[in-house]
Amino acid sequence: MNSKVERALNEQIHAEFFSFYLYLSVAAYFTSHHLDGFSHWMRIQAQEESGHAMKLFDYLIERGGTVQLMALDEPQREWDSPSAAVEAVLKHEQFISQRINDIVDLANGENDHATTVMMHWYVNEQVEEEATADTLFHQVKMVEGSPHGLLMIDRELAGRPAAADASAQE
């Protein structure tokens, strides 16, 4: 495997595991504010991010690369409001999308067709991730200052089904 692509994939594994940590931290924030539906949604999102990391982990091994796990930084724990917490999630998803695009560009430049094809799954996934986070952010912003509105969204988020295995979503 090309060493530049291998390094980029290892860095993305790290970024996906950090996403897992971030979503767990946001879940803990919402739990501490008695918004269990938001917490439930974030926990499921954390599971998805772990699955995304493991999909890359397995791909790297399958291609004969070396997985190099890196230390994770401590994620933020507090936000000024529920909308600020959801906005942090949206901005993080946008950051991850840019990282994915950069890997696709790198793989294309290195003529690594297998990685380019594999990363298309992540490109599509990020469109969905950003759209979902954007919708949630705008909904929370609309009800800002309305505890009843926030509780309605909280109830809706409590119904989110568990995440499917990322490796099965090909």
- For the entire predicted model, the pTM comes to 0.92
- The Cα-based distances of 41 to 61, 120, 165 in angstroms read 31, 25, 16
Give the pLDDT score at 162. Answer: 83
User: pLDDT tens for residues 39-62?
Assistant: 999 999 999 999 999 999 999 999
Split at pLDDT 50, 70, 90, the class of 170 is: very low
Q: Which residue has the higher pLDDT, 166 or 115?
A: 115
Look at residue 143 and give its three-state secondary structure.
coil
Give the pLDDT score at 165. Answer: 55
Average pLDDT, the chain: 95
CATH numbers and ranges of domains, the chain: 3-162 (1.20.1260.10)
In this prediction, residues 120-139 reach a mean pLDDT of 97
The answer to whether 67 and 10 are in contact (CB under 8 A) is: yes
CA nearest to 49, candidates 19, 28, 80 = 19
Split at pLDDT 50, 70, 90, the class of 164 is: low
Owner of token pair 């509105």:
149
User: pLDDT tens for residues 70-122?
Assistant: 999 999 999 999 999 999 999 999 999 999 999 999 999 999 999 999 999 99
Q: How many angstroms separate the CA atoms of 162 and 11, rounded?
A: 27
Look at residue 67 and give its three-state secondary structure.
coil
Give the pLDDT score at 160. Answer: 85
